[in-house]
C-alpha cells in the first residue's frame, strides 16, 4: 500500500530528509515498509508551506496503518498533518506537536544591530528557553524576514518561554510570532 504523509511542517528539504531517515529506521525495525520519496511545497516567496513523505507499506492491513500512525506520533509530527492514500481512499489526521514561527525583521533595524547580533545566538537561546517543551526544526531566509521554525508540546508555552529573551536581544526588535501548527 502506497501512502503520502502530508506534513504540516515548514521544513527545508535537508530537514525533511532527517525526518524521512527517522521514519525509514522505524519502518525497517517494525518490518512495516519503507520511505520512497518526498517533496516540499513553497509559496512564491520561497517560504515553505508543507512537506510530503511518500511511504510504501508492505501490506494493506489496517493494523499496519494503525501502527504507522502510532509510530509517527511518537517521533513527533505537527498537528494538522495527515496520512493519505488514494486506493483505498484514506485520510487519517496525525500529529501532536504545535508549531511556532519566529520572524526576524531583516530590513528595518539599524545596520549596527545586524552587524553585531547573530541569528545562531537567537536559535540557541530560544531552544534553551524551550527546554523540554519545544525545539528548533528548520528556517527560511527571505528578502525581508528570516523565519525560525520551532515545534513542541504547546505553542503558548513555547511563546511564553522565549518572550524574556525577545525583549532583551536587539535582533529580535520588530519581530513577529505566528502559530503554524
Full DSSP string of 47-68: -EEEEEEEEEESS--HHHHHHH
- Runs of H (alpha helix) within 61-141: 62-75, 111-116, 119-129
| Same fold yes or no, 2-94 and 98-179 | yes
Q: How confident is the model at residue 163, as a pLDDT?
A: 98
Instruction: Please name the fold of domain 2-94.
Output: Alpha-Beta Plaits (3.30.70)
List of the chain residues with pLDDT < 50: none
Per-domain residue ranges for the chain?
Answer: 2-94, 98-179
Q: Whole-model pTM?
A: 0.92
CATH of the domain spanning 98-179, picked from 3.30.70.60, 3.30.360.10, 3.40.50.10490, 3.30.70.360: 3.30.70.60
Q: How confident is the model at residue 144, as a pLDDT?
A: 95
Amino acid at each position: 500500500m502506497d501512502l503520502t504523509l502530508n506534513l504540516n511542517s515548514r521544513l527545508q528539504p535537508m530537514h525533511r530528509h532527517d525526518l524521512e531517515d527517522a521514519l525509514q529506521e522505524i519502518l525497517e525495525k517494525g518490518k512495516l515498509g519503507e520511505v520512497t520519496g518526498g517533496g516540499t511545497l513553497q509559496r512564491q516567496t520561497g517560504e515553505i508551506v508543507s512537506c510530503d513523505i511518500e511511504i510504501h507499506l508492505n501490506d494493506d492491513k489496517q493494523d499496519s496503518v494503525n501502527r504507522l500512525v502510532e509510530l509517527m506520533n511518537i517521533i513527533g509530527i505537527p498537528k494538522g498533518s495527515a496520512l493519505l492514500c488514494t486506493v483505498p481512499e484514506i485520510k487519517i489526521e496525525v500529529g501532536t506537536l504545535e508549531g511556532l514561527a519566529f520572524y526576524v525583521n531583516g530590513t528595518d533595524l539599524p545596520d549596527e544591530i545586524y552587524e553585531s547580533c547573530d541569528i545562531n545566538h537567537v536559535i540557541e537561546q530560544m531552544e534553551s528557553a524551550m527546554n523540554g517543551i519545544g525545539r528548533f526544526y528548520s528556517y527560511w531566509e527571505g528578502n525581508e524576514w528570516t523565519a525560525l521554525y520551532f515545534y513542541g508540546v504547546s505553542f503558548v508555552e513555547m511563546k511564553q518561554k522565549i518572550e524574556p529573551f525577545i525583549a532583551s536581544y536587539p535582533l529580535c526588535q520588530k519581530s513577529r510570532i505566528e502559530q503554524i501548527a
